[in-house]
Amino acid sequence: MDKDILFKNESYKIIGACFEVYNEKGNGFLEAVYQECLGIEFEEQNISFIEKPKLELRYNDRKLKQTYEPDFVCFKEIIVELKSVKALTDEHRAQVHNYLKAADKRLGLLVNFGHYPKLEYERIIK
């Protein structure tokens, strides 16, 4: 059954990097702090990533001026969205679903550094 997990090794590495940041910083910082730390951790662990890529949006086959910017796209395939909140909500999950749709990707990782006493994360599949 493990072989059926989408991007298993890649997502394991990403979540491992998130745990490294959480173990070092704990909870209570702003999302931007965790994003910067995670970018450093991705570099140190040789995880390929693009930070804050602009995702094009379309309506009736026309390009919109508005864009989406997920926190990271890792391994060219996985959307990583960070939060620093008490608990994840359906709005956060919907945001990742929208990013997946806009980027035409299949897997998103929603990671919450604000949860106590441990890192909270969810795999979201399109």
- C-alpha 64/C-alpha 40 separation (Å) is 32
- C-alpha 52/C-alpha 80 separation (Å) is 10
| Confidence at residue 113, expressed as pLDDT on a 0 to 100 scale | 97
Residue numbers of the domain that contains 45? 2-125
Contact 45, 115 (CB under 8 A): no
* Element of type H or E holding 73: strand 72-74
Structural domains in the chain (count): 1
- C-alpha 45/C-alpha 74 separation (Å) is 12
The list of the chain residues with pLDDT below 50 reads 1
Listed residue (124, 120, 114) closest to 32, CA to CA: 114
CATH classification at residue 28: 3.90.320.10
| Confidence at residue 2, expressed as pLDDT on a 0 to 100 scale | 53
| Confidence at residue 67, expressed as pLDDT on a 0 to 100 scale | 93
